[in-house]
Structure 1
């Protein structure tokens, strides 16, 4: 069941799809963003009947893909705990089946150590995400079947507030994981929160965006402008949705979120879409996350336009062949829809569809009435 803590602003997840192979090999999904508990003030009034039905259709399809309560990458036969967390919060936000939420939550919390600290590795962003999930679902983040997720997270925050991974594969910590670390530390009332937040705010450039990658650990200046950070819609949007209701917000934080929201409005294309970074196409993960951030920021029209783009990438009812049972699924981008029209959703492509659906489905709730659904992909 959801926590009785104050509900926090919603967030969709983010996936750097180009890195999926590497992240799977490393066992680290901290580069994925995620969804967060719904805030009635940011979602209830904006939800349309069309959007609500579309969001529930997406949740229904995704629930049918779960294996023992977990999102699974069939191609590599690996469980994605972070993606499952995204789905948990997405389901709660749109009022999907509570039994599915319980099954997913129990599965992730029971595998907390495997998710955050498998073997000798420790993934800081995963720890932040797990601590958030535990606190928001009334579990003790210091004792998840004997695993101290909060202590593990705090140990990965250095004096400057920067988080880091500990792994023979390397340190993949970045602004996405840092945002989740701040979120988890804040939820747990940790004294490490302020330092982690200060470091995250250093990742915002003067143009308003947050960069995804940190400067080298030994660099004297860890700020975005000095480090010539590349713009990241994903990192910017995630910062907005995860930081918008932190306890005891400062003027610096408020100003940072206003600049970040303005950047997202500026970057939105005429068709409502956004791209995660220069290396990625317009996609459901980035556009869905931005829709949530824009809604939180009070940019309702921009949020609705983004939702309509996501809706145009959702499989409708009535498709033929292999897609007949896939109504509600959200395609990552135009290419995913085209490929599904010829090959259906295969073991190789199913994970991308599942992840996009888990992370983007809450954005559908604000789809404007009268928006035309996508056509069935042509074979």
Structure 2
């Protein structure tokens, strides 16, 4: 889905990882960048057990939690780096399907224990990461002013300008965008910060009249910071994340913006139920999963079911060969399934599967019971 900064990538290979993450189109939900208040990106904390796709969502969660975590964290084996942002996505996804609380607690403690490595690695400060962490902590009853020794709330407030725009302070550049802005607005609001209204107003400025949110901000010195004013390009990921995080905000302006965003998502869904990430990003499970979950929360049941069916078509069931141990995993796209035929999930490809699964699994709740799984790859 998305990513904001190389925060979880330590110094070695950090710039390369950041570029790779940004290319996925998911800057706000993973490493925030990149799905997902306690009831925000994940929807409600507990989903009814009778949801038709519950077994499918649980299978995806089991694969991720029981087979793919390292000390409670999602990891990128290629760069030998923990991905705290993707772990937060996974936490919200697990909450959304009513998964085992012990597993969720372990993951939450793993993220908060490494707060400084996540938000302020090597002296840098990433606003999107801070926003995501503050949101998680406040949604789970913690103190955002003391997260593993880090005052995450003050850190976020310091990176929020008077006009509400967030920004990063890093030698790698400023990765702040609408994805991280959404997390920042949610976190500041949860914490009762005086910066919350400005951050939310700036977030709303990233929505064009057509209903979509753009991902990238205008240049800092641009006179017009609005989406329409700079001919913003649509981002399904930013639009879906906006719905996920803001759907329960009790404010007429925000409610109207959410409804407009939902209308855009409905209009952009392909006939097969999928969503593309925008720009050059093709149909994929991250974008489809995020959008599908957003549509489900908005009561667009038919559209949500279509999205869930597409995600299910990219989820492995019981297969033989190189993916025999990967039942429940969700592939990013068709190419990812085919590529796993010979060698299965490798150090280079496993992270993509973990991220797709972490972000897309709640969408499966809307899948019909007889939805077809991915075709088993054959060498």
Q: TM-score, normalising length from structure 1?
A: 0.90
Contact kept in structure 2, 1:94 and 1:365, CA below 8 Å: yes
1:255 maps to 256
Matched, 1:67 2:80: no
After superposition, give the CA deviation of every residue in 1:76-101 in whole Å (9 maximum; x if it has no partner): 00000000111111112212232221
1:286 matched to which residue of 2? 287
| Cα deviation 1:227-247 (Å, max 9, x = unaligned) | 11111000011001101112x
Q: Does 1:24 align with 2:17?
A: yes
Secondary structure of the structure 1 residue equivalent to 2:373: coil
Moved over 6 A (4+): none
Q: Encode CA deviations 1:56-91: one digit per residue, 9 max, x unaligned.
A: 111111011111111110010000000011111111
Q: Structure 1 pair 220/46, CA: closer, same or farther in 2 (3 Å)?
A: farther
Q: Tell me if structure 2 keeps the 8 A contact 1:183–1:243.
A: yes
Q: Per the alignment, do residues 299 and 282 of structure 1 end up closer, same or farther by CA in structure 2, a change over 3 Å counting? A: same
What is the CA distance between 1:42 and its match in structure 2? 9.4
1:167-246 map, 5 Å: 167-246=170-249
**Post-superposition shift, 1:140?**
0.7
What is the match of residue 329 of structure 1? 329
1:44 aligns with 2:48: yes
Superposition TM-score, scaled by structure 2 size: 0.90
Match of 1:148 among 146, 151, 157: 151
Tell me by how many angstroms 1:146 deviates. Answer: 2.0
Task: Summarize the Cα distance change of 1:93–1:23 in structure 2 as closer, same or farther, 3 Å threshold.
Answer: farther
Aligned to 2:366: 366
Q: Deviations over 1:339-362 (max 9, x none)?
A: 012331111100000110011111
Q: 1:322 Cα shift?
A: 2.3
Relative to structure 1, the CA distance from residue 253 to residue 85 in structure 2 (aligned partners, 3 Å threshold; closer, same or farther) is same
Q: Quote how far apart the aligned CAs of 1:22 are.
A: 4.3
For residues 126-160 of structure 1, what are the alpha-carbon distances to aligned partners after superposition, in whole Å with 9 as ceiling and x for unaligned? 00110011112221110113210001001111011
Change beyond 3 A, Cα 1:41–1:72: closer
What is the root-mean-square deviation of aligned Cα atoms in Å? 2.1
Deviations 1:254-298 (A, max 9, x none): 221111111100000000000111210100000000011111221
Give the aligned partner of residue 317 of structure 2: 316
Question: CA offsets per residue over residues 311-370 of structure 1, 9 Å max, x none?
Answer: 0000011x1122111000000011101101233111110000011001111111110132
Q: How does 1:74-113 map to 2 (within 5 A)?
A: 74-113=77-116
In the TM superposition, residue 36 of structure 1 has moved relative to its aligned partner by 5.0
Aligned partners of 1:179 and 1:138: how far apart in 2? Answer: 20
Cα gap change, 1:59 to 1:35, in 2 (>3 Å): farther
Equivalent residues of 1:71, 1:84 under 8 A apart: yes
Paired position in structure 2 for 1:349: 349
Question: 1:241–1:143: structure 2 CA closer, same or farther, 3 Å change rule?
Answer: same
Q: 1:46 to 1:221 in 2, by over 3 A?
A: farther
Match of 2:2 in 1: 15
1:276 aligns to what SS in structure 2?
strand
Instruction: Give, in whole Å, the separation in 1 of the partners of 2:46 and 2:357.
Output: 20
In structure 2, the gaps of 5 or more residues are 22-26
